[in-house]
Amino acid sequence: MAKYKLEYIWLDGYTPVPNLRGKTQIKEYASFPKLEELPNWGFDGSSTQQAEGKSSDCVLKPVAVYPDTTRKNGVLVMCEVMMPDGVTPHPTNHRATILDDAGTWFGFEQEYFLYQDGRPLGFPEEGFPAPQGPYYTGVGFKNVGDVARQIVEEHLDLCLDAGINHEGINAEVAKGQWEFQIFGKGSKKAADDVWAARYILNRLCEKYCVDVEYHCKPIKGDWNGSGMHANFSTEYMRSVGGKEYFEGLMGAFQKHMDEHIAVYGPDNHLRLTGLHETQSIDKFTYGLADRGASIRIPHSFINSGYKGYLEDRRPNSQGDPYQIASRILKTISTVPTP
């Protein structure tokens, strides 16, 4: 039997953006523990805005498990927050609102800035660096700096070691801005992996004295904001699809535009301005290969007879993938199949 360090991770009750929390317990196992072998664990909800002090108990229910190669016998345990009975989802538990379907696939494109001393990495102490242009997918010290790429590469390796379905990285349009992509078959799986990847990145940056800035528009002016574009498809979209169904789907997305924006991340009006590869927050549009539309239609979708996946470009970098996936699935469920 070996002693394993189980890092239980959950989302707190802060609004509009929950924080990641984590605490460790030690358990003995003969080998790396399976999800069903991990016990529920209590915590003080009064310290995370999830309970009052006079009745502070909340319960962590494991939902995903990952190897943690930063520790000897390390385990990352993604959890849902439950009420004291261990059965009823806590009101802050948005994962429980997802009407999951194994045939639903999500790909999330997580953009973020790396910050140090109150400014993005690579920004001068006063003023701004050269305008946007060479930074996207850039290479070389003047474009990406030094420690940024080291962090991004190390994060990639840690995610792959953890078994997260990490699909790629790139430097983004603004200086100090980066992106990683997560894909999952099953919306809960995809969202779990995004939150686990965020946790790994936040913790990794501690040793570099660097912060991860997820705000969707941290730099005012002519600089790109940060999104978390959601690429999605269902079994029906991939195997049947068709123009009639697609048009019905877009009609439903337009009808529920306000409900989508409400859960697509705070301060999105600062980012969705109609500039910097966005559509205005008060409009809904879709277009072929159009990064200025609300929904981008890939060429492959049209070429395949209106089958495949679509990209919702409105979710922002602070958005909760659980809430984003839940809302997209609810809208899709309103569309009858021909």
Same domain, 11 and 58: yes
pLDDT digits (tens, 9 = 90+) for 99-154: 877 799 999 999 999 999 999 999 999 999 999 999 999 999 999 987 999 999 99
Position 37, amino acid: E
Last residue of a domain, one of 68, 92, 116: 92
Residue span of the structural domain in which 172 resides: 105-333
Task: Please report whether residue 50 resides in a domain.
Answer: yes
Same domain, 121 and 189: yes
CA dihedral angle for residue 90, residue 91, residue 93, residue 95, rounded to 10 degrees: 120
pLDDT at 2 over 90: yes
Q: Does residue 190 contact residue 183 with C-beta atoms inside 8 Å?
A: yes
Task: Please report whether residue 99 resides in a domain.
Answer: no
Q: What is the mean pLDDT of residues 177-187?
A: 97
pLDDT digits (tens, 9 = 90+) for 226-254: 999 999 999 999 999 999 999 999 999 99
Give residues with Cβ within 8 angstroms of 292, minimum separation 6.
274, 277, 278, 279
pLDDT in the model for residue 276: 87
Q: Does residue 98 contact residue 187 with C-beta atoms inside 8 Å?
A: yes
Same domain, 309 and 167: yes
Transcribe 46-98 into DSSP letters. GGTTSSBTTB-EEEEEEEEEEEETTSTTEEEEEEEEE-TTSSSBPTT--GGG-
User: Could you give the CA distance from residue 66 to residue 184 in angstroms, rounded to a whole number?
Assistant: 15
pLDDT in the model for residue 291: 93
User: Could you give the CA distance from residue 268 to residue 319 in angstroms, rounded to a whole number?
Assistant: 10
CATH number of the structural domain spanning residue 50? 3.10.20.70
Task: Output the average pLDDT for the chain.
Answer: 96
At 230, is the secondary structure helix, strand, or coil? strand
Same domain, 205 and 142: yes
Count how many domains the chain has. Answer: 2
pLDDT in the model for residue 39: 97
pLDDT in the model for residue 114: 98
Do you find a cis peptide bond into 218, omega within 30 degrees of 0? no
pLDDT at 281 over 80: yes
**Cα angle 319, 324, 330; round to 5:** 160
Can you give the pTM of this predicted structure?
0.96
Give the containing element (helix H, strand E) for 177: strand 177-185
Transcribe 282-314 into DSSP letters. T---EEET-TTSSEEEPHHHHHTTS-S-EEE--
